[in-house]
Structure 1
């Protein structure tokens, strides 16, 4: 069996333009990443989802489906092997993070190192490389990876 390898995607996530719009930042970036001709910016995506600019939370699955980018929803964190398979195939993973004080936050996983540290693109704080185990459950209890959304180009 070959040792795990490092793999990363050329993925660019802009900061969210308002509180509660992590989903818009991620949806917009995924649309660009997968080459959608009419890739909406964050503001346009909010208007597409709500009919007007109203910066509030939206379900990740609804946004990804509206863009035609949702391939599967998995109600658990992905294993290192599953992450590696998605990244190797050129697909970004959207991860829903449950927050310890309530609510959720959406981030992208766009890479994984040979030692299983994951490349996390956060629309609030930017890119970081963190141990997969810490993304799954913060030792301080502030967050936990709740759901995974497999993405890909529209069919």
Structure 2
């Protein structure tokens, strides 16, 4: 699978179709291994989320699906999102109440994101050092971490260069 922490914030020479294909292959494999059903609507929601590397809101997904298929009700999209979240195929960007595809094994690495405030692209990153620092601090204070998502806002290299230039 491509290193999405690099390509997600890159604006040139990036093939979104490859990302979508990789995500669907991963979803098919995961569902088959865990006895889950990747229905047509779940699959389409996943495709739409992977269509770019920008967090996508549920109502934007609903609008796209309605344009394609007619009258889909909001619960249809929310149920698909819940399934994809529970399966570990997408993440929720809490600060934006939006969703993005997951490309990293989170059994070992809780999600962390760089989010460009200019173009809106987001990249999921891996950093064992950050994970270890949080685990160490939690252990020292007796804190039990239930859920962790780190979102870092700023500028991707391309947008930063455009603003400098």
Normalised to the residue count of structure 1, the TM-score between the two structures is 0.30
Instruction: Say which one has the larger Rg.
Output: 2
- Larger relative contact order (CA 8 Å, sep ≥ 6): 1
Select the structure that is richer in strand.
1
Normalised to the residue count of structure 2, the TM-score between the two structures is 0.29
